[in-house]
Amino acid sequence: MFEPTIEIISHTPDIEKLCTTAVKHTYRKGKPSELMRGVSDKEKENLLGNIMRAGHLSVIEHGYFTIFFNDVSVFFEQFLIEHRLASYTVKSRRYVDYSESGFVVPNYLEDKPILRKRYADTVKKLFGIYRFLVDKGVPVEDARFVLPYCFKTSIICTMNSRELRHFLERCLANEYAEIRKVGKVLLPKVKRIAPEIYGDLELKNPEMEEKIVSFDMEGRKPRKKVELLYYTEKPDEKIVLANLVKNTGMDTESLREKVEEFKEKVMDSVLKSRRPRELEQANFTFRINNLSLSILTHITRHRIHSLIVPDFTLSGKSSNYVVPESVRMTGILEKKYREAFEISNDLQNFLLKKKVPKEDLVYNYLSGNIIDIITTMNARELYHFIRLRTCERAQWEVREIANQMLKLVMSAATLTFRRAGPSCFLFGRCPEGKLTCGKFEEVVSRYRDLHEKSEGHLGRFL
C-alpha cells in the first residue's frame, strides 16, 4: 500500500498566537510584542477562528511551514509545484542517478495481483533500461526520459499557512488517490500544530471536473516548437510611457507625444534599473509544443507566470516522445531507448483494455512523452527566464525553447529585449564560478550577433 513519508521540518513558533496577534493589531493599540504576550487560548479560538470563518485569511500568511515530502511520485511533484506561492527544493534528476529510487503503485492495482505484476514488471524493465543507458555513458539528464511518472522523488517545500491550507483543500478532494493520501497523512500533523487554522479541514469526495471536449493527441499537424500567440500591443511604447508617468507626472496626452523622442534613452534606463517594474506592463503569451514531461517541471518552477497545462487524464498518453542527441543514431543505445517507450505503450494498451481508471494510467506516462502548454509572462519575468534558460549549462531542450522565445519577442518588442540573453551576455560576466561552460567569449559573441541582426545599433548599449 502506498505510504508517503511526510515530515514537518520546521514551522513558525506559536503560529496561532502570532496570527491572532495580527488580528488584534488591526483594531487595538499597543506594540505587536505586547499584544502577543496577552493572547489567550480563548482569543485564538474567538478572534482567529471568527476572522477566518469570515473569509479574511490574510492574517494566517504570517505563519510558515517547511515540509519534507518523501516517497512521492514525480506526478505528485508536478501537482505540488503548481502551487506558486511556495518555495521548493527538488532532488535533481539532471545530476542524481535515480536507478534505485523505487516507484508508486497506483491505488486501483493494489488488490489486483495480475495487473499489479504486469505493471511492476514493466516499470522494473524501464528502470533497467535507464540503468543501461547511464552505464553506457548517456547523460543522466537524457536517460531520465525513459523513467515513468510513478518513480519516487523527494521535495522540501516551504509554504505560508494560507497557501498550505489551499494546498490541503485541493489534496483532500482530489481525484488522484496518491494526492488524496498525501493530504490525509499531512492533515493531522498540521492540525496538532495549528488546530484553529486547519481544524475544519477533512477528507472529501473527489471533485471531478466536467470534461466538455475531446482530445486528440495523435491527429496533430506538425507545428513549431514555440509560438507567440499574442502580446501587449506596442509593448515598447507602453513600457516607455510607464516610466515617463512615474518620473514626470505629466498628463498622458503630453507624454504620448514624447514617447518616440525619448524611447531609446528611457528604455536604456529601465533595462539598467535594479527594479524595472515598467517591464511588467507588457505581457507575452506563448504556446510551447511537443514539450517533454520532464522539462515541464523546469517551466512550472518559474513562479511569476500564468501556466496552462492540459489535464493528464483528458489528454491521455502521447505515443510521441523526445529522442535526445546522446542516443540518436547510436545503434544499441537508440534501440534500447525506443524500447522503453514501446513497452510502456504496450502496458498502457493492456491497462486500458482492463478498464483501469484514467487517473491511475498517468503513472505509466514516461518523462520523455510530450505535451503542449500555454504560458503568459511579463517582460520582466521573460528576462529572468531567458537569462537562466539560454545559459549553456541549462538543459538542452529548455535552452532550445528559451532561444526560440527570445527570437520571437525580439521581433515583437525589439527595444524592450535588446539586452536579453544569458547572464554572461546581460551582465558581462559568468555567475557560475567553477561550473562555467568555459565558452564566455563564444557565447557573448553569438548573442551579440543575434541582436545586431535585429537592430544594427545595439553595440552602444552593451
The phi, psi pair for 208, rounded to 5°, reads -95, 115
CA 192 to each of CA 68, 107, 166, 198, 399: distance values in angstroms, whole numbers, following the listed order = 17, 28, 18, 9, 45
- C-beta neighbour count of 114 within 10 angstroms: 9
Exposed/middle/buried for 335, CB within 10 Å: 0-12, 13-18, 19+? Answer: exposed
Whether the CB-CB separation of 154 and 92 falls below 8 Å is answered with no
Which triple of cell numbers denotes residue 82? 503548481
* Residues ≥6 apart with Cβ < 8 Å to 154: 68, 69, 70, 71, 72, 90, 91
* Active site (annotated) includes residue 389: yes
* Residues ≥6 apart with Cβ < 8 Å to 357: 108
Bridge partners of 86?
Answer: 159
CA 115/CA 118 separation, integer angstroms = 5
CA 79/CA 67 separation, integer angstroms = 15
* Residues ≥6 apart with Cβ < 8 Å to 259: 237, 240, 241, 244
Nearest to 176 by CA among 206, 211, 148, 212: 206
What single string gives the DSSP state of each residue in 122-174? HHHHHHHHHHHHHHTT--HHHHGGGSBTTBEEEEEEEEEHHHHHHHHHHHHT-
Whether the CB-CB separation of 385 and 300 falls below 8 Å is answered with no
Catalytic residue among 93, 144, 387, 389: 389
What single string gives the DSSP state of each residue in 52-102? HHTT-GGGGGG-EEEEEEEEEEHHHHHHHHT--SEEEEE--TTTS--TT--
Which triple of cell numbers denotes residue 300? 512550472
- Residues assigned a catalytic role: 389
